[in-house]
Homo-oligomer: A and B are copies of this chain.
């Protein structure tokens, strides 16, 4: 039953009267403290809350506190497995700090990112987590919001905002160096065309350090479909590269499908290494050798920036760790 008038007119005092306790006790029960409440009293209060349809009003609290105990999170697409895992970890860690997570997908067709940022700010969020690339004007907008803010990821143009990132170049270099150690010489790159994405540079650096020529360069979208399209190009390339670095596990999985359908064997015909370390990387075949992003550390660092904003928080950068499985040609056992 929806009976908005009734629920809205019920106050904490009504609940206290119905339960035969003070309004302070009602608060203790609803806020789990600060003082303990006897079990039977607690049940009486919760019963009164239920019977009367009382809803403590976070909007009123937010108005008096100036904050709604929510973190706003802007991601490109929460379906991408890496972002789904990031959202989940941020939710877990945010909860420990008493914050809920308001998630916004920037790939919405109906609203531009600036509108979404303004909307989030208007909800009196107590912190803003941005995991998409911002334009200069969006960055200026974020600064003007004067909210505790943290950028997660390697989105270069956000120098003025505190950021938590992983060293994309270093992670990629480690993966490509591993492919080189296997003896592969013709190593392709599949990933982003964005200038802020240092993975292409990490690939090029590893090759030039080993005095190898750059292999085929394919720019694609960070989706299964994007990986599939890249796999088709690799399968049809002449000469075909002997190995390939894919900028995300999701791209690599799409690529594997296209190669398999064209009879190109991984790793025998073309070896694969990728980036992210999503759970699924351990369940596809061959299992992916991948530079693992330390999700827990990233989430903790990001939330710490929001809870303890300092005038000059700068950049916290983590280095991914290479996880070796079968896609590169190694033969480790499952742990």
Note all chain B residues with C-beta closer than 8 A to A50: 140-141, 144
Q: Give this chain's copy count.
A: 2
Question: Restricting to A39-77, which residues have a CB under 8 Å from any CB of B?
Answer: 49-51, 53, 55-63, 66, 68, 70, 77
Q: Answer yes or no: A7 CB below 8 A from chain B CBs.
A: yes
A124 touches B66 (CB 8 A): no
Chain B residues with Cβ below 8 Å from A261 are: 334
Question: Would B146 and A1 count as touching, CB distance under 8 A?
Answer: yes
User: Is A79 a contact of B88 with CB atoms below 8 Å?
Assistant: yes
With known contacts A63-B63, A224-B280, A283-B257, A70–B4 Cβ distance under 8 A: no
Which size bracket describes the interface of A in this complex?
35 or more
Nearest CB of B to A218, in Å = 17
Q: Is the beta-carbon distance between A145 and B55 smaller than 8 angstroms?
A: yes
Say yes or no: B59 contacts A124, CB within 8 Å.
yes
Give A7 to B260 CA distance when docked, in angstroms: 57
Contacts of A79 in B (CB 8 A): 81, 84-85, 87-88, 279
- Nearest B residue (CB) for A3: B146
Residue of B nearest to A7 (CB): B146
Distance in angstroms between the alpha carbons of A181 and B248 in the assembled complex = 39
Known: A59-B62, A62-B59. A108 touches B123 (CB 8 A): no
Q: Which residue of B lies closest to A260 (CB)?
A: B285
Question: Measured between alpha carbons, how far is A122 from B65 in the docked complex, in Å?
Answer: 15
A57 CB to nearest B CB, Å: 6
Segment of A92-100, A191-199, A206-214, A234-242 engaged in the interface with chain B:
A92-100
Contact among B62, B78, B283, B285 for A228, CB-based, below 8 A:
B283
Interface residue? A102 (CB, 8 A): yes
A282 at the interface (CB under 8 A from B): yes
Q: How far is the CB of A186 from chain B (nearest CB, A)?
A: 25
Determine the distance from Cα of A51 to Cα of B140 in the docked complex, in whole angstroms. 10
| A121 interface contact, C-beta 8 A | yes
Which A residues form the contact surface with B (CB < 8 A)? 1-4, 6-8, 30, 32, 49-51, 53, 55-63, 66, 68, 70, 77-79, 81, 84-85, 87-88, 91-92, 95-96, 100-105, 108-111, 115, 118-124, 140-141, 143-148, 224, 227-228, 253-254, 256-257, 260-261, 279-280, 282-285, 287, 309, 311, 334
5 further A-B pairs in the complex, CB-CB below 8 A; given A50-B141, A224-B279: A49-B144, A50-B144, A55-B122, A59-B124, A88-B105
Q: List 9 A-B contacts (CB under 8 A).
A: A55-B124, A57-B63, A63-B63, A78-B78, A78-B91, A79-B88, A224-B280, A227-B283, A254-B283
